[in-house]
Structure 1
Amino acid sequence: MSRNGTLRFAFGSLLVLSVPLVAVADDDLVRQVRDGHRAARESIQTLTATLTSEQIHPDRQIVTQAKYSRSGGVARIREGREGGHTEDLLMKGGEIRHIGRSWKAGKAGPSAVAFRAPGNAFFGPGDVWREMLIELTGPAGGQLDLDQLLTAADGPVRADREKLDGRECVRLRFSATYPSGAKERVTLWHDIGRNYLVCRVLVERPDLPTSRYSVLQVLDFIEPQPGVVFPVKVRREHFRNGEMFSATVATLTDVTINKLLPPDALALPQVPRGTTLHDRIEGKEGPIDSDWKPLGVMRPAAPPPLPPAPKVAPADAPAVPSTSEPVSTGRWVLSGSLVLLVLAAGVAVVSRVRARRNSTA
C-alpha cells in the first residue's frame, strides 16, 4: 500500500473510531449525572414546606398556596382553610386520593367529594417535587424521575460540561416525542456542586409553526445539612416568537428536611360517610364510607367535564420539564402530557363545583 493510501486508511479508521469514543464519553457523563441526581433525591428522606406560586407576568397574582409534606414515596398536599373550602391530596401506594370539602354556616360538618387516580397522574398545583424540578413530566406520561425521563428520550442523550453563571454544570440534551405526536428538544443543566440537581431547563417546540420555548431557572438553593441540598425558588418564563407571554415564580418557605414528621402529616382528613367517590383507576363512581369502601354497587363513571379554557393555550403550554404555570395547568406539562393535565384539572373542577353545590343545598 502506498504512503498516501496508508494515511487515508489510518485517517478513515480514526473517523470510524471517533463515533463510539464520543458515545462512550457521553454515556459516562450521563451515568455520572444519573447517579448524582439519584443520590440527591434519596438524601431527602422527609420534607415539609409551604409552597407559594405567583404569576408575575403579564400581571401579578397569587396562583397557588399549599402545605406540602413528604416521606419517601408518600406525599400530601393541603390547600384552603378549614371551615371554608379545602383540597387534600395524598400520593401513596401507587395511587392518588383527593378530597374536596366545603363548609356551610349552620351545617354540622362539611360536604365533600372524593377522587382516586393513578399514582403517576397529575398530583396537584402544590406538588413541591414537580415545582422544584425534582421530577419532570415526560413522554411516558405522568411524573418521572431523571432516570425514567432519559430512558424515554428519543435516541441517545448528549452530554457535555458547561459553566452556567460561573458554576460547573453538566448539560444534557435530548429530544422527546409524545403519543400525541408533539415533539420537544430539552436541555437540562445539572449543577455539579449542588449534587447534580437541575438548575436550568430549556424546552423548545420544533414541531410548531411559530417559535415556542420555555426557560426554567432555579433562583435559590438551601443546604440545611452538610451535603443535603434542595431548591427553594424557581422562575418559569414562556416565550412565543421571542417575546415572553407568561412568567411565574414558585417559592418554598418554612422548609424542614429530614426531621421527624408529626403523625398526621401524611394522613388525609376522614371522608364523610356517603361521599361520592370518582374512581379514575377502575372507571367507577358511587358513595363510600369513611374507609373509602363502596356503599353498595359502584356505577360506571361518567367522563369528567372539560375545565374552563386555561389562561395559556395548550399549544403555548410548557413542555416536558416545565412543571407548569401554577393554577391547574400542571407545571412540567409538555404538550404531550396535556391530556393528563386536562383530566386532572377536570377532576379539580368537578371537586370544587360539586362541593360548592352541595354546600349551598
Structure 2
Amino acid sequence: MMEPSKRVRSINLSEIRKMFEKADKNSINLGLGEPDFNTPKHIIEAASIAMREGFTHYTSNMGILELREAISKKLKIDNGIDAPPESILVTVGASEAIYMCMQALVDPGDEVLIPDPGFLSYKACVNLAGGVARGVHLKLDNDLRMTSEDITDAITDNTKAIVLNSPSNPTGSVMKKEDIKAIAEIADDNGIYLISDEVYEKIIYDTKHHSPAKFCENGITINGFSKSYAMTGFRIGYVSANSEIIEELLKIHQYTTACASSMVQKGALAALEGPQNSVDEMVSEFKRRRNLVVKRLDDIGIECIKPHGAFYVFPYVENPAEFIKKGLEKGVVMVNGGAFGIHGKNHVRLSYATSYVQLEEAMNRLESMNI
C-alpha cells in the first residue's frame, strides 16, 4: 500500500490556517499574524521597476550582492553583528531559513531545544529533519520569557541546536539581554548551534532587542521583511552565519528554491535603504492596539501578561476550546494556545494585527460572552 513518508505523517497542518478557514465575511479574524498595513509604496515601486527593466531572471543562489551588502550594513548597525556579504544567504522568507537550518544541521535523533509555547514551524521542521524537538517550558512566573536557567535545565548530551525567538510568536515576550548572553555562552561552551529567529525584531515596545550572534561564534541569525515592512506576500528573508554553516545551508537552498525572487530582492533592498518612517508608524499603532486589547481583557477578567513585542497577546483561559467555540459563535476567530506546544494548552493567541476599530468590536463581542 502506498503511503507518504513517516516524517510527513508525523506533522499536522497549521492550526492557524485551519482557524483562518473558519472565518466568514462577518468574522473578525484575530488568528492570523499578518500586518494589516499596505507595503510602503517605494518598496512596491522598486520591485515594479525591476520587472519593467527585465530583472526577471535567476540571481545568484546567495542573493544579489547589493542586497547582501545592505543586510550586512543593517546587521552591523542594528545588531552589532559583523557579517560580511558572503556570510549572508537571501531566502524565500524566514520560513525557508528555518527549514534549511534543520535540514542542514540536524541528524536523525539529534535534539533541538525550542520554546514551548513557541512558533509551530519549529517542531515541524525539526521532525521533518528526523530530529527530536524538546520543548523548553516558558513559565508565567517569567512573563513567558525564555531564561538561561530554562536552557541549563533542558540541555542534554544529545542537544544539537537551540532555537530562540525574541520577540516571540505566540507570546509577545522579549528576552532579557543577560539571558541571551548567557545562552550564547552555553551554546559556545557545548558546541551547540544557536538559531535566533528575529522576524519581529523591529516590532518592540518599551524595551530593546538583542541578537545572540553578537555574543557567540555559533550564532545563526534569521530575519525577514514580512513583519517589519508589511511584505508578507513578497516571501523574502535571510540567514546570517559563519561561512562553514552558510555553505551547508546553501546546499539545501540550491536544491529547493535555487534563489529568492529577483524582483522581490530589489524590493527588499529598497526597504533597507529607503525611509524607515513607515516602520515607526506601524510600531506606534501596534503599541496603541496592544494597550487597548490588554486593558479590555483585564476589564473582562481574563488574565493576560502585557507583551513587549510582536503583535500577539497570549491570555490564560481555563478552557481554551470552549472559549474559542464561544468566540466563533460571536464572530471572533482565535487560535488555541495548545497549537504552540503543551505548555500553551491553557491559553489562546489573539493577534492585534488588525484595525483599532475592529479590535474594539472584537473585545465588545468577547465581553458579551459573559465569561
- TM-score by length of structure 1 reads 0.29
Which structure's residues are more often helix, by fraction? 2
- TM-score by length of structure 2 reads 0.28
Rg: which structure is higher?
A: 1
Which structure's residues are more often strand, by fraction? 1
> Which of 1 and 2 has higher RCO (CA within 8 Å, sep 6+)?
2
